[in-house]
Amino acid sequence: MRLVVISGLSGGGKSTALRALEDLGLFCVDNCPIPLLPDLVALVRGADPDRDIAVCVDARDTDHLASFDDVYTRLEQSGVTIDVLFVEAAREVVVRRYAETRRMHPMGDLPEAIDRERAALAHVRARATTTIDSSTCSGRQLRQMVRDRYAGGVALRVVLQSFAYKRGVPSEADVVLDARFLANPFDDPALRPLSGLHEPVSQFVLGQPDAAELLERVEGLVRFVVPRVAAEGRSHLTIAIGCTGGQHRSVALIEELKRRLADQLGGESRSGAVRVLVRHRDVGRST
């Protein structure tokens, strides 16, 4: 049995992550008191030993936060596999989200409440197996990240992701590569409104000798790393390539990398123990 403990900052996206896991069939409980976790696990295990559980633990449970480490150890000793997913966002982003929803922060007045909450959850964050910074994510993108990590059926998911450096490096990436040294299609007025998903942009980017060498090196890296990551028992590997705006160079490179890896790693369909997924984080986002 696996227990996924979702924690993090209020306004960071914990509820969104929990709903994504519920969609995957996990038994989900929001704001479960920490001392009740062993009872919850025993209850679900008795009814369905193969069903995984997801719970939200946050700073609203102030009376019991101190017991988290002890409860974690007890559950681990009982044979439960525990993943801690910590979801957070930048201070200014959390303030803006609360302003938009006009809700009160559970720890008091903003922005000081964010710092108090972060301090209260520091020992929970120290246990995190996965940390997601949702500052640059939409709700849909956050749900997809969670699904990429926790969906069953294959041993390893390789996520190829393009992104814009001006919107920040994706915190979930295991490997980050910078493609800004390549000539930029944005400088051509005819190519500027297009993206790397369009053939003229793809030809412009992939026709550069440096792009061909970059792809050859990245392809070799992925082929080397994937079987070793899978053997380690990890469920996901994210390779991110970025450019300035996340529209042209990085997108064309990711699409070509997907094509090159498709035969061996399975492309968009299951093949052996590996599945390759493509995410274009910033395509279509306005400047």
Per-residue DSSP letter, 172: T
Superfamily of domain 2-150: P-loop containing nucleotide triphosphate hydrolases (3.40.50.300)
pLDDT at 171: 85
pLDDT at 8 exceeding the cut of 90 = yes
Between CA 227 and CA 245 the distance in angstroms is 32
CB-facing half-sphere around the CA of 241: CA atoms within 13 A: 27
Between CA 275 and CA 268 the distance in angstroms is 7
What does the mean pLDDT of the chain come to?
89
Least confident of 57-61, 81-85, 166-170, 188-192: 57-61
- pTM for the whole thing? 0.62
Which residue in 225, 56, 46, 256 sits closest to 160, CA to CA? 256
Amino acid at 278: V
pLDDT at 265: 66
Least confident of 147-156, 182-191, 195-204, 256-265: 147-156
Assign 188 to helix, strand or coil. Answer: coil
pLDDT digits (tens, 9 = 90+) for 196-233: 999 999 999 999 999 999 999 999 999 999 988 877 76
pLDDT at 151: 75
Q: Tell me what percent of the chain is helix, strand and coil, each rounded to the nearest 5.
A: 45, 20, 35
pLDDT at 264: 65
Least confident of 27-36, 219-228, 270-279: 270-279
What phi, psi does 43 have (nearest 5°)? -65, -50
What are the residue ranges spanned by the domains of the chain?
Answer: 2-150, 156-280
